């Protein structure tokens, strides 16, 4: 099974070599050149190319490692002034490095199977992550190294599940020094490790007085020292060179706008959309005068609305970086508290998901690719649960929680939230590929993934004991239940899923046929973003609902 996964994913990824690659390809080629040809002191100063090095130092070292081989393949790859060099050999080489680096993810998934259980549910998640349309699109077509980085994240999460908290913390600290986007989920890690590793952890909440006696200074010291050591290894040289402010300036370019090139499917997409609606309402109808709203004329004259980052709002109040930060933190706090109160892995992984969501939904200058952070962590959260093994038909209701300590059964809500967020998020990635030959590829890999994983997860939801009784009474268990893929989905959710089809037909085909390539170019992008944002926000609400209600239920069970 795992060999098949390995072979198939590799073949597919190599087949994808000739697909469109974005400017990120040149970005990484340039970084290969910078790290290979320049001394460390120049890494974060070099700006021959507009694609300056803006990942943390570990990633730069990773590039340096690859550049050794790159120089063998073609010395021209590693020349700093050799801009936009994309010969066939370069493409093959760089795409190969992505595939090889993604073996880290494959390895992590093998460990996940071992630790979380090797049942249909876990296998499905395994396949879903290794052949993930999001990763395929972003890594193997668009060109990035996310598979590798998410591999490290999954390793870290699996360590946490195993109770190897120190290793988990170190891995996560290292991951932060590969790509700082993982700061999005750092609060959850912080809360969990602090509470679970640095305090007595019997799985129960600690009474107010015993906090001090529960503190374990040695663990605290160990964790603190190792995390600081990781950061020192990464940032040390640059501190020594007195380049820390320069580094920080590169990593956190706050000059960029609220939204990335096109809107990521988050709150701000909805907010911007609302603003567009308001502009029309205010300028075309008397409503504006009635509510005493005024138009910001300068925002209207911005011709690049919906396309380029610097979003100015016409009617609604402007949003600053501080606002987004406050909102993000506010959204993260509830789940952090819940982890801090009772640091089980279940709660931890849930709060990681919710932190990722909070940052994605409310963050400043969020990339659409960051949705992977939500979907990957959600996948791990689902793999952590207990699925029914469908071939044990009748016994499905009588699952026991004993074989997986602390894990809860997979609920239909989890599946629905996961599928809707993934679908919306991956469709939100589609505008990355505006070239026509890639359109069928992005559509097909997303559709195949949705149908395959959707129907697979659907079979893994344990039947409620009640329904199991009725089916045994009816005599035949499998033929009785309606095994349609979306059976758990409510009407609205089904509408949303099927609604993607006409919307995307319009976006990909009809719009260009009617308006041509340039006219109203923002409209299809806006439609995709807003439609996707609705799905992501809905999925987030659904997931939060199950997270907090299941926590409550578990609490009640314990107290009883």
Partner 1 sequence: MAPTTMRAKASKAKSTTAGAGSSGSNAAYKTTITTTSTSTTNSSMSTTAITPEAPKLKNLAVYRYATWLEENQLKKTAIWISVAAAVLVRWIVGLGPYSGQGTPPRFGDYEAQRHWMELTIHKPIREWYSDRSKWWDLDYPPLTAYVSWLCGFVGDKINPEWFAWETSRGYESKDAKLFMRSTVLFLELAIYISSIVVFTQRWFAHKPWTRQHTAVILVLMQPGVILIDSGHFQYNTVMLGLVVWAVNFFLADQDVLGSVAFCLALGFKQMALYFSPAVFAYLLGKSFRQGFIGCIWKLIKLGLAVMVTLGLLFSPWMQSQEEILQVIHRIFPVFRGLYQDKVANIWCAVNIVIKLRERFDIQSLVRFSTLATLLSFLPSLIHLVIKPTKRGLIYGLINSSLSFFLLSFQVHEKSILLPALPITLLILDEPAIGSLFNIVATFSMFPLLKQEDLTTQYYLLLGLWIWMTTGTFKNVSSLLKFLSTLNLLVIVTLHLGEMLVAPPARYPDLYAVLNSLWSAAGFVLYWVYFNYRQFTMVNTPKMGFRISTKTSKAYKLA
* Chain positions contacting partner 1, by CB under 8 A: 1, 3-4, 7, 11-12, 14-19, 120, 390-391, 393-394, 436-437, 440-441, 444-445, 447-448, 451-452, 455-456, 459, 476-479, 483-485
In the complex, minimum distance from the CB of residue 90 to partner 1, in angstroms, rounded to a whole number: 15
Distance, in Å, from the CA atom of 237 to the CA atom of 240, rounded to the nearest integer, reads 5
Nearer to partner 1, 366 or 432 (CB): 432
In the complex, minimum distance from the CB of residue 4 to partner 1, in angstroms, rounded to a whole number: 5
Distance, in Å, from the CA atom of 227 to the CA atom of 512, rounded to the nearest integer, reads 52
* 3-class secondary structure per residue, 152-211: HHHHHHHHHHHCCHHHHHHHHHHHHCCCHHHHHHHHHHHHHHHHHHHECCCCCCCCHHHH
Nearer to partner 1, 189 or 450 (CB): 450
CB 58 within 8 A of CB 234: yes
Nearer to partner 1, 366 or 441 (CB): 441
Q: What is the CA radius of gyration of the chain?
A: 24
Nearer to partner 1, 163 or 440 (CB): 440
CB 188 within 8 A of CB 339: yes
Nearer to partner 1, 146 or 471 (CB): 471
In the complex, minimum distance from the CB of residue 310 to partner 1, in angstroms, rounded to a whole number: 32
**Closest to 91 measured CA to CA, from 166, 138, 143:** 143
What three-state secondary structure class fits 219? Answer: helix
Structure tokens at 326: 């406050």
In the complex, minimum distance from the CB of residue 432 to partner 1, in angstroms, rounded to a whole number: 17
Query: Which residue shows structure tokens 């910078």?
Result: 34
In the complex, minimum distance from the CB of residue 123 to partner 1, in angstroms, rounded to a whole number: 8
In the complex, minimum distance from the CB of residue 68 to partner 1, in angstroms, rounded to a whole number: 24
Q: Own/partner pairs for 147-150, CB < 8 Å, 24+ apart?
A: 147/98, 147/101, 147/102, 147/104, 147/105, 148/98, 148/101, 148/102, 148/104, 148/105, 149/175, 149/178, 149/179, 149/182, 150/105, 150/108, 150/372, 150/376
In the complex, minimum distance from the CB of residue 486 to partner 1, in angstroms, rounded to a whole number: 11
In the complex, minimum distance from the CB of residue 483 to partner 1, in angstroms, rounded to a whole number: 6
In the complex, minimum distance from the CB of residue 452 to partner 1, in angstroms, rounded to a whole number: 5
Distance, in Å, from the CA atom of 385 to the CA atom of 375, rounded to the nearest integer, reads 15
Nearer to partner 1, 228 or 444 (CB): 444
Nearer to partner 1, 449 or 540 (CB): 449
In the complex, minimum distance from the CB of residue 485 to partner 1, in angstroms, rounded to a whole number: 6
Nearer to partner 1, 19 or 359 (CB): 19
What three-state secondary structure class fits 63? Answer: helix
Distance, in Å, from the CA atom of 259 to the CA atom of 87, rounded to the nearest integer, reads 33
Nearer to partner 1, 71 or 452 (CB): 452
Nearer to partner 1, 125 or 171 (CB): 125
* Helix 186-198 and helix 217-240, axial crossing angle in degrees, nearest 10: 140
Structure tokens at 185: 């989920």
Distance, in Å, from the CA atom of 356 to the CA atom of 209, rounded to the nearest integer, reads 33
């Amino acid at each position: 099974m795992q060999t098949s996964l390995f072979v198939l994913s590799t073949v597919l990824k190599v087949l994808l070599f000739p697909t469109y690659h974005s400017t990120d390809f040149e970005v990484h080629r340039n970084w290969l050149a910078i790290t290979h040809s320049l001394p460390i002191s120049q890494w974060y100063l070099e700006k021959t190319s507009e694609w300056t090095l803006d990942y943390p130092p570990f990633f730069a070292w990773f590039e340096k490692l690859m550049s050794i081989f790159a120089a063998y393949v073609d010395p021209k790859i590693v020349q700093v002034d050799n801009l936009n060099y994309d010969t066939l050999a370069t493409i093959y080489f760089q795409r190969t490095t992505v595939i090889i680096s993604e073996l880290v993810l494959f390895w992590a998934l093998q460990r996940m199977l071992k630790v979380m259980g090797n049942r249909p549910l876990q296998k499905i998640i395994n396949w879903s992550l290794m052949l993930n349309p999001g990763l395929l699109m972003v890594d193997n077509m668009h060109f990035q190294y996310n598979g590798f980085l998410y591999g490290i994240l999954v390793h870290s999460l699996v360590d946490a599940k195993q109770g190897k908290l120190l290793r988990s913390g170190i891995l996560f600290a290292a991951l932060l020094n590969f790509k700082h986007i993982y700061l999005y989920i750092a609060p959850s890690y912080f809360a969990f490790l602090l509470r679970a590793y640095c305090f007595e952890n019997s799985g129960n909440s600690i009474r107010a007085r015993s906090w001090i006696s529960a503190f374990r200074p040695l663990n605290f010291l160990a964790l603190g020292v190792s995390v600081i050591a990781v950061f020192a290894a990464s940032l040390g040289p640059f501190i020594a060179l007195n380049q820390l402010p320069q580094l920080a300036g590169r990593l956190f370019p706050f000059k960029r706008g609220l939204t990335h090139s096109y809107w990521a499917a988050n709150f701000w997409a909805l907010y911007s959309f609302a603003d567009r609606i308001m502009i029309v309402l205010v300028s075309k109808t008397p409503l504006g005068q009635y509510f005493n709203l005024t138009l910001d004329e300068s925002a209207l004259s911005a011709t690049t609305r919906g396309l380029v980052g610097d979003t100015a709002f016409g009617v609604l109040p402007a949003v600053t970086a501080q606002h987004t930060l406050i909102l993000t933190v506010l959204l993260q706090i509830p789940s952090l508290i819940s982890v801090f109160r009772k640091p089980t892995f279940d709660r931890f992984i849930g709060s990681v998901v919710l932190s990722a969501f909070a940052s994605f939904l409310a963050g400043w200058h969020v990339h659409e690719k960051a949705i992977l952070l939500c979907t990957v962590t959600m996948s791990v959260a689902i793999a952590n649960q207990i699925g029914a093994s469908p071939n044990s038909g009748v016994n499905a209701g009588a699952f026991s929680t004993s074989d997986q300590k602390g894990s809860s059964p997979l609920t239909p809500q989890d599946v629905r939230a996961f599928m809707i967020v993934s679908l919306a998020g991956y469709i939100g990635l589609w505008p990355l590929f505006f070239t026509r030959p890639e359109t069928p590829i992005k559509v097909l890999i997303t559709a195949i993934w949705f149908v395959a994983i959707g129907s697979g997860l659907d079979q893994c939801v344990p039947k409620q004991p009640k329904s199991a009784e009725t089916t045994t009474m009816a005599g035949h268990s499998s033929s009785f239940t309606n095994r349609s893929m979306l059976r758990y989905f409510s009407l609205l959710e089904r509408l949303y899923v099927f609604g993607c089809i006409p919307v995307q037909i319009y976006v990909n085909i009809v719009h260009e046929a009617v308006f041509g390539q340039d006219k109203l170019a923002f409209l299809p992008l806006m439609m995709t973003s807003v439609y996707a944002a609705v799905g992501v926000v809905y999925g987030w609400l659904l997931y939060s609902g199950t997270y907090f209600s299941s926590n409550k239920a578990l609490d009640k069970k314990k107290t009883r």
